[in-house]
Structure 1
Amino acid sequence: MARVVLVTGVSRYLGGLYARRLSTDAGIERIIGVDVIPPKHPIGRAEFVRADIRNPMIGRIMKQAGVDTVVHMNVIATPKDTGGRVTQKEINVIGTMQLLAACQKSDVVQRLVVKSSAAVYGSSPRDPAMFAEDMNAKSTPRTGFGKDSIEVEGYVRGFSRRRPDVEITMLRFANVVGPQIRTAVTDYFALPVVPVPLGYDARLQFIHEDDAVSALVTATTGPSVGIVNVAGDGFLTLLQCLAMVRRPVVPVPMITAGLIGNVVKRSGLADFSPDQIAFLAFGRGLDTTRMRTVFSFEPQYTTREAFQAFASHLRPIVPGLEEVGGVVSGAAGGGAAALARVLERLQQ
């Protein structure tokens, strides 16, 4: 049973939500939240400690507090949240290595919970309809968050071999959405004009932010279960999602997707990578049998309900855009050039 819990990334939205939820569990004696910046949101009865997990000081914090459970939520998905790709990779990979080194030296750590991502499966036209936990990516992510997540999981597996006495649960989440959370995916669907890969309509799965936090709490206080996919029931296609957010659409050939990604990234409205573009073209499916039968977790929201909760809190699209059948027309038409003009208008 967890008594003293250390959570990384407590200043991020999900980290704060998790700390508040865990604070309601009377069985948890102490919660220590670490991050490089103070949280702007409430963190319940968690004690904030300003610390960088890339620094060996994290080991001293764990030793002094007698931490028996570590919840690693500081694997960052978007470089714009950290100041750039170099910093993002350092926090994700070097930070994880330092944290695991501290766990390995500790004689009181009994459990490690890692917030991972379904991004480890990649996205390609050769993918199976559903990825089970024992399957490998058909096309391994070569850049960005997906590559970082694979490296993080590799270090965790190495740690488990060195410390077989430590219980490990690694949750591979589908894209987390909801009324408050902001991610690369929610930023994409919030664009005033949304570029979509021409000729593709990917199947997508989501998990509501509340369900994601509930799964992390279950992993902290319940039995250890190894690797588990976590996603809401059902699928939505990309075009169904766009109909729900009521955004104008610009179909673009895959050959120009990189250009579009750069235009959107420069606008500051969303963060795009080649892996994200592949995800929008080919999608991803998760087999959640293990989530129910082994982890004993049932999300409260289906994929559709989770996405609807996000869509219902979106701001209306920018005034003045013309829309015919969901496809941008008139002055806003013309693919990449049109999207660039719209984004320039928004920055004025």
Structure 2
Amino acid sequence: MGRVVLVTGVAGSFAARFSRHLAERGEALGISRVVGIDLRPPEGDLGGVKFVRADIRTPVIAKVMAVEDVDTVVHLDVAPPARERAGTKERNVIGTMQLLAACQRSSIVTKLVVGSSAAVYGSSPRDPAMFTESLSSRGGTRSGFPKDVVEVESYVRGFSRRRPDVLITTVRAAQVLHPDIETPLRDYFQNPLLPMAFGFDPRLQFCHLDDALAVLTESVTHDRPGTFNLAGDGVVLLSQAARRLAKPMLPLPSLGFASAAARVTRVMGGDLSPDLHRLLTYGRVLDTTALRDIFGYDPQHTTEDTFEEYRRRVRPGILSGIGATA
């Protein structure tokens, strides 16, 4: 018998894509069944994934794991809020606590893969040029989604001490940039005007969808214990991104940028994640040496490649050479 994999948060576009990816390749990957769980059903087709409608913030998650004989858990139900923060912290933090409690009680769970986020490093003017996995936040993790991620990883480390027999892989990924995958940066780039903090031009990194799927799949099918950064090599400046998308930038005072940008975005009928303003001010860059040297995966797409593919999909009439350099 192959692995029975539980994927949390499958109502989300990325988790749905990943669970379907596993199910389609199940036999080749040594996976007998993929179970997806979320409080609401996914909008798209999950293919061969068995969907269970349940709230991981409640003890029912333990019953689902027992009934389905789950031995591998992929936790992807840790995500930033879309418009309002209400309920997001409970899902991220309380949901993780309940999931880990269920894993601790299970006698057959042998592997836990945590889809974390580069947000664990925060964003601040004191950041290093590149974050390695051994570095901690210099600022920007005292509230919102970054604080959630810090707490989630703290609970995972506590679980690893209580259950050293469970192999744990934590993937700290930059945001996936793809038209079909919901992320704060994708939603930001969809606005007709791009609010920016006056005097700042942050370095941004993106993760290609294929690389994200490949790393998580490798984590499920092989033993890759540890914590790993995941992002495409290189950076794209915010000003470069705006010019390549042929979208005007709207400079706003850096003091009060978060609230001003949110108001402007609402007027445009768009969306701006409540925690995105610091990234749009200070940026953030990850070092992926450990991913190559220890995990054994070399990202196939650079940040530049990822952004250019996104641009071709959403703005096909815009020539890539326009404003290609800062």
* TM-score, structure 2 as length reference: 0.92
Match 1:69 to one of 68, 72, 76: 72
RMSD value, Cα: 1.8
How far the C-alpha of 1:299 sits from its partner, in A, is 2.1
Residue 269 of structure 1 aligns to which amino acid in structure 2?
G
- Aligned match of 1:198: 198
- Aligned match of 2:43: 40
Secondary structure of 2:18's aligned partner: helix
Secondary structure of 2:73's aligned partner: strand
Is contact 2:122–2:140 with CA below 8 Å preserved after alignment? Answer: yes
Is contact 1:6–1:69 with CA below 8 Å preserved after alignment? Answer: yes
What 5-or-longer segments of structure 2 have no aligned partner?
318-322
How far the C-alpha of 1:25 sits from its partner, in A, is 2.8
Q: Equivalents in 2 of 1:29, 1:258: separation in Å?
A: 46
Q: Equivalents in 2 of 1:259, 1:37: separation in Å?
A: 30
How far the C-alpha of 1:40 sits from its partner, in A, is 1.9
- Aligned match of 1:295: 295
What 5-or-longer segments of structure 1 have no aligned partner?
318-324, 326-348
Aligned ranges 1:115-134 → 2 under 5 Å: 115-134=115-134
* Alignment CA distance shift 1:161-1:264 (3 Å): farther
Deviations 1:37-74 (A, max 9, x none): 12221223110111110110110110111111000001
Q: Equivalents in 2 of 1:25, 1:153: separation in Å?
A: 28
For this pair of structures, how many residues does the alignment match? 314
Q: Equivalents in 2 of 1:22, 1:272: separation in Å?
A: 29
Residue 62 of structure 1 aligns to which amino acid in structure 2?
M
Secondary structure of 2:227's aligned partner: strand
How far the C-alpha of 1:266 sits from its partner, in A, is 3.6
Residue 78 of structure 2 aligns to which amino acid in structure 1?
V
Q: Equivalents in 1 of 2:279, 2:224: separation in Å?
A: 30
- Aligned match of 1:343: none
Q: Equivalents in 1 of 2:157, 2:172: separation in Å?
A: 14
* Alignment CA distance shift 1:195-1:46 (3 Å): same
* Alignment CA distance shift 1:101-1:230 (3 Å): same
Is contact 2:80–2:273 with CA below 8 Å preserved after alignment? Answer: no
Secondary structure of 1:85's aligned partner: coil
> Could you list the runs of 4 or more consecutive aligned residues of structure 1 that deviate by over 3 angstroms after TM superposition?
264-268
- Aligned match of 1:237: 237
Aligned ranges 1:159-174 → 2 under 5 Å: 159-174=159-174
- Which of the two has higher C-alpha Rg? 1
* Alignment CA distance shift 1:257-1:150 (3 Å): same
Secondary structure of 1:98's aligned partner: helix
Residue 249 of structure 2 aligns to which amino acid in structure 1?
V
- Aligned match of 2:188: 188
Is contact 1:115–1:170 with CA below 8 Å preserved after alignment? Answer: yes
Residue 188 of structure 2 aligns to which amino acid in structure 1?
Y
- Aligned match of 2:320: none
Identity, % of aligned positions: 48
In the alignment, structure 1 residue 271 sits paired with structure 2 residue 272: yes
How far the C-alpha of 1:259 sits from its partner, in A, is 3.2
Residue 250 of structure 1 aligns to which amino acid in structure 2?
L
* Alignment CA distance shift 1:2-1:304 (3 Å): farther
Q: Equivalents in 1 of 2:303, 2:98: separation in Å?
A: 35
Q: Equivalents in 1 of 2:31, 2:198: separation in Å?
A: 51
Residue 271 of structure 1 aligns to which amino acid in structure 2?
L
- Aligned match of 2:102: 102
* Alignment CA distance shift 1:194-1:102 (3 Å): same
Q: Equivalents in 2 of 1:265, 1:108: separation in Å?
A: 48
Residue 296 of structure 2 aligns to which amino acid in structure 1?
S
How far the C-alpha of 1:265 sits from its partner, in A, is 5.4
* Alignment CA distance shift 1:261-1:142 (3 Å): farther
Secondary structure of 1:48's aligned partner: strand
Secondary structure of 1:125's aligned partner: coil
Is contact 1:234–1:302 with CA below 8 Å preserved after alignment? Answer: yes
Q: Equivalents in 2 of 1:166, 1:2: separation in Å?
A: 17
Q: Equivalents in 1 of 2:192, 2:54: separation in Å?
A: 38
Is contact 2:115–2:173 with CA below 8 Å preserved after alignment? Answer: yes
Name which of structure 1's ranges 67-76 and 262-271 shifts more when overlaid on structure 2. Answer: 262-271
Q: Equivalents in 2 of 1:316, 1:210: separation in Å?
A: 21
* TM-score, structure 1 as length reference: 0.86
Is contact 2:111–2:166 with CA below 8 Å preserved after alignment? Answer: yes
Is contact 1:2–1:220 with CA below 8 Å preserved after alignment? Answer: no
- Aligned match of 2:14: 14
Residue 213 of structure 1 aligns to which amino acid in structure 2?
L
